[in-house]
């Protein structure tokens, strides 16, 4: 089952969205920031990063997630700080939010990514023909 990676220090983040993403065939997986800096879990389809104030590693984690080609939603109460430099997340969501809103947004990003990949493959096939 593909996973939605939830990076943060609170288990609550993963448990909040577990039911919502489960309805769409995904599971939620929690990693601490330290774990996320070491390696990204296999079979991850997208990520949610809980951006903490003054946490230098948040930008590094965002860079690792984006370089892995993952759609990323950043949730934070510090939007200006999180948005203040590259790399950029696909979406920034200000806290507080609900599990339903967060799950809906990450699932929509996944749908768009799948659609983009499909169009890219179709275009490559047309060029090869």
Q: What pLDDT score does 127 carry?
A: 61
Nearest to 4 by CA among 68, 72, 64, 93: 72
d(CA 119, CA 123): 6
Is the bond leading into 95 cis (omega within 30 degrees of zero)?
A: no
Which class is domain 3-128?
alpha beta
Weakest-pLDDT range from 35-39, 84-88, 113-117: 84-88
The residue among 52 and 64 whose pLDDT is bigger is 64
């Amino acid at each position: 089952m593909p996973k939605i990676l939830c990076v943060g220090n609170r288990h609550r983040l993963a448990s909040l969205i577990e039911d919502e993403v489960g309805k769409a065939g995904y599971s939620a997986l929690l990693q601490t920031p330290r774990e996320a800096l070491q390696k990204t879990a296999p079979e991850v389809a997208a990520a949610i990063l809980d951006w903490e104030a003054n946490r230098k590693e948040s930008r590094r984690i965002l860079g690792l997630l984006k370089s892995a080609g993952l759609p990323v939603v950043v949730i934070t109460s510090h939007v200006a700080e999180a948005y203040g430099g590259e790399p950029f997340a696909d979406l920034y969501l200000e806290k507080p939010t609900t599990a339903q809103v967060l799950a809906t947004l990450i699932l929509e990003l996944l749908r768009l990514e799948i659609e983009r990949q499909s169009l890219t493959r179709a275009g490559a096939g047309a060029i090869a023909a």
